[in-house]
């Protein structure tokens, strides 16, 4: 059984919160075939739309360091509109003195409090700002390392962790004013994720006062089937707490004949840290999106390469996205409070 090291300082001590610097925003290229880096954004709008964007740079396409994007808009009637495209490596431009990343005519720019998107793809588009009064952060070195040699890693940081969304989105020949809340992260890895991931839970909670961000997955058996998690509680002034101590309990399990997976209709997340602890019992039955990943991976070279990888490792990934109201039961320095808000939950079956 191989060890896992999660979000520690370089000297091996417990990870502390670090504000992001320019180098954290930039690309972290690796020679590995598996190298993939992602800038992920999702916006939950007051008007009912959900819009998300994944900007990718990967070695798994036809060319090394090939950029790509996937843009999805879910309408209030739950119509799913998607555009995907690969770009030649020369269409990727990175600034030197301030962070901006350009893929073709699509632009991401910003700093540790504001990220701006200008994206057009087919008939879809985003002109959005993700603005947070709390600066972006990472915990420890920002990485989970796998194996005694630490030769495989998955790294993640969180720009604009209390993101409010403004701007507009384009779809179905309409320009819709955008106002709401959002989530973004920046991640990269250098090995096949099927080697160390089994099932993901991504849970994001937003209230007028605080955000709770949960990134969590179960490792494969060769890494002990352990839970790798990072839980962060953030208000408009600071990151109040981070912890890797998370328990996930699923209930009301039901077999989904479409995904051929047993999906939980309720999920309880419970975390603890020295001065904070809390739990959320989330109703995950309001699924707004479910997707067979293999069926969708034929539109671009990068995604076809990913499909080949998935099939080679005999996996059948499927994901479910649920949204709805939630209540955080939070104990902060001995004082219990109940905080109402909105939440989004992804359950991703890697295998």
Ordered DSSP codes for 265-303: EEEEEEEE-SSEEEEEEEETT-EEEEEEHHHHTTSSHHH
The predicted structure's pLDDT at residue 278: 97
Contact 176, 168 (CB under 8 A): yes
Contact 99, 76 (CB under 8 A): no
Q: How far is it, in rounded angstroms, from Cα 238 to Cα 19?
A: 10
Contact 91, 66 (CB under 8 A): no
Gyration radius of the chain over CA positions:
19
pTM of the model: 0.92
The predicted structure's pLDDT at residue 107: 96
CB-based contacts of 186, cutoff 8 Å, min separation 6: 24, 25, 37, 38, 39, 40, 156, 157, 158, 159
The predicted structure's pLDDT at residue 311: 46
Pairing mode, if any, of strands 227-234 and 211-218? antiparallel
Q: How far is it, in rounded angstroms, from Cα 316 to Cα 318?
A: 7
* Domain hosting residue 231, numbered range: 4-349
The predicted structure's pLDDT at residue 314: 47
The predicted structure's pLDDT at residue 301: 55
Q: How far is it, in rounded angstroms, from Cα 115 to Cα 127?
A: 11
Helix/strand/coil (H/E/C) assignment for every residue in 155-184? EEEECCCCCEEEEEEEECCEEEEEEEEEEE
What is the token pair recorded at 206?
């937003």
Residue 209: CATH number of its domain: 2.40.370.10
Name beta bridge partners: 198: none
What average pLDDT values come out for the chain (351 residues) when binned by 10 residues?
94 95 94 93 96 92 87 94 92 89 95 95 96 97 95 95 97 96 96 87 96 96 94 97 96 89 94 96 92 55 53 63 96 95 91 70
The domain total for the chain is 1
């Amino acid at each position: 059984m191989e060890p896992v090291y999660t979000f520690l300082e370089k000297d091996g001590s417990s990870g502390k919160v670090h504000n992001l610097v320019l180098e954290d925003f930039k690309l972290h290229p690796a020679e590995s075939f598996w190298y993939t880096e992602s800038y992920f954004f999702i916006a939950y709008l007051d008007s009912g739309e959900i819009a998300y964007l994944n900007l990718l740079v990967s070695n798994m396409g036809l060319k090394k360091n090939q950029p790509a994007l996937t843009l999805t808009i879910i309408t209030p009637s739950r119509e799913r509109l998607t555009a995907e495209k690969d770009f030649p490596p020369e269409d990727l431009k990175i600034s030197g003195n301030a962070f901006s990343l350009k893929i073709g005519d699509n632009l991401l720019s910003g700093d540790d409090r504001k990220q701006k998107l200008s994206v057009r793809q087919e008939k879809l588009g985003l002109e959005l700002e993700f603005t947070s009064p709390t600066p972006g952060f990472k915990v420890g070195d920002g990485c989970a390392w796998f194996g005694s040699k630490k030769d495989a890693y998955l790294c993640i940081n969180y720009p604009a962790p209390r993101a409010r969304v403004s701007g507009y989105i384009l779809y179905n020949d309409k320009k819709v004013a955008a106002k709401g809340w959002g989530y973004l992260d920046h991640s990269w890895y250098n090995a096949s994720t099927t080697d160390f991931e089994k099932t993901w839970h991504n849970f994001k909670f937003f209230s007028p006062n605080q955000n709770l961000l949960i990134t969590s997955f179960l490792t494969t058996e060769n890494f002990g089937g352990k839970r790798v998690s990072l839980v962060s509680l953030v208000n408009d002034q600071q990151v109040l707490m981070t912890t890797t101590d998370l328990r996930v309990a699923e209930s009301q399990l039901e077999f989904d004949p479409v995904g051929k997976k047993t999906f939980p209709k309720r999920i309880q997340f419970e975390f603890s840290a020295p001065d904070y602890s809390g739990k959320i019992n989330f109703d995950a039955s309001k699924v707004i999106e479910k997707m067979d990943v293999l069926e969708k991976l034929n539109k671009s070279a990068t995604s076809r390469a990913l499909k080949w990888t998935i099939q080679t490792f005999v996996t059948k990934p499927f994901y479910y996205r649920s949204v709805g109201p939630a209540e955080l039961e939070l104990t902060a320095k001995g004082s219990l409070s109940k905080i109402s808000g909105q939440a989004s939950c992804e359950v991703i079956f890697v295998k």
